[in-house]
Amino acid sequence: MQFKLTQFGNPILRQSAHQLTRSEIFSKDTQNIITNMRATLAQKRYGIGLAAPQIGQSLAVALVSLKPTPTRPNAPILHLTLINPMIVKTYGRRSPLWEGCISGPAMFAKVPRYRHLRLRWLDERGCRQEQDFTDLAAHVIQHEVDHLHGILFVDKVKDTTSYVTATEYRKLRRAEQQQNS
């Protein structure tokens, strides 16, 4: 089953999500939500992350599903289920990358985020995980963790002149890819 996405303006996107207990993680409802979040994200051509508030559930659950896309053909493959994620350390300075949101309007902007971080979370089996992430993975993780705290990518944009529509974003990315070839 696919979920309908919650859109910008819905108050749930501005709330802090409920941290799950181990028994809540193992509940049939939570496991079904995770399964259906995966199905929802898999249907999004450009989507590489999804947080439970984006499907109307105020739960501290997020998925990261990095994969090559038309605008990021060299993206690494990474699939994570993050429950109660916490960024425990960031390294270095922030660097801007293009960012959009499948809950938002069809627009993108450059968002400065840390390129290296350490994350602690529980997986869908309730096992504690801790790992360092870099580059695009670190960027997407920060975006999804922000969703769990009621923060949207538009709140993080420093250079408001970087806002572009999805059509212009795709043109810019194609030009960047041709330049780097």
- Kindly report the CATH class assigned to 11-180: alpha beta
pLDDT, position 26: 97
Residue 36 banded pLDDT, cuts 50, 70, 90 = very high
pLDDT, position 105: 83
Question: How far apart are alpha carbons 10 and 6 in whole angstroms?
Answer: 7
- By annotation, the residues acting in catalysis are 144
Q: Which of 124, 125, 149, 152 is nearest to 64 (CA)?
A: 124
Question: How far apart are alpha carbons 23 and 8 in whole angstroms?
Answer: 31
Domain boundaries, the chain: 11-180
Give SS3 for 15.
coil
CB atoms within 10 A of CB 51: 28
Distance set, CA 140 to CA 45, 67, 99 (Å):
16, 12, 9
Chain-centroid distance of CA 97 in Å reads 13
Q: Which of 113, 110, 122 is nearest to 163 (CA)?
A: 110
pLDDT, position 3: 86
pLDDT per residue as tens digits for the range 114-149: 999 999 999 999 999 999 999 999 999 999 999 999
Q: What is the pTM of this model?
A: 0.94
Beta bridge partners of 112: 96
pLDDT per residue as tens digits for the range 66-107: 988 878 888 899 999 999 999 999 999 999 999 999 998 889
pLDDT, position 68: 85
